[in-house]
Amino acid sequence: MAGETKGPPKGGFARMEPEVLVSDLEASRAFWCGLIGFEVAYERPEDRFVYLDLQGAQIMLCQRWGGWETGPLERPFGRGVMFQVYVDAIAPVLARLAAAGWPLHTATREAWRDCGGEQIGQREFFVQDPDGYLLMVAETIDSRSLR
């Protein structure tokens, strides 16, 4: 609920927590919470700031105020960075995006990537938030030995 301050994420703070600047905190919150499925761990309304959590994935959103901008900030924001979030199932996220008419950057695909002596399989898609930050949403499907 907007304006409600809860507390630290249930599983504790991640060791690295990206904080991204956004143009419109409410529009970004609607995307990250309403469509992707994050929950507000806590917020500071007076600072236009929310700390979000989804099954241990954490991100902070802060409405632009000029203080942390190290250079010109043009859309799409976050060029050169992609955020990956792993969920139990991507189907509910895809359904919410489709119902909202939100376009995907890259359609759902299955990917297998080498990781040590095995391959890890996942189903994934890519979507951009209201400011253009690129987000990969994925579910793990299996692993297989390379031997």
List average pLDDT for each run of 10 residues in the chain, which is 147 residues long. Answer: 63 86 97 97 95 94 88 89 96 98 98 89 97 97 82
Whether 47 contacts 62, CB under 8 Å: yes
pLDDT for 39 equals 95
Whether 5 contacts 42, CB under 8 Å: yes
pLDDT for 3 equals 46
pLDDT for 95 equals 98
Whether 20 contacts 48, CB under 8 Å: no
pLDDT for 14 equals 79
CATH 3.10.180.10 for domain 19-68+81-145: yes
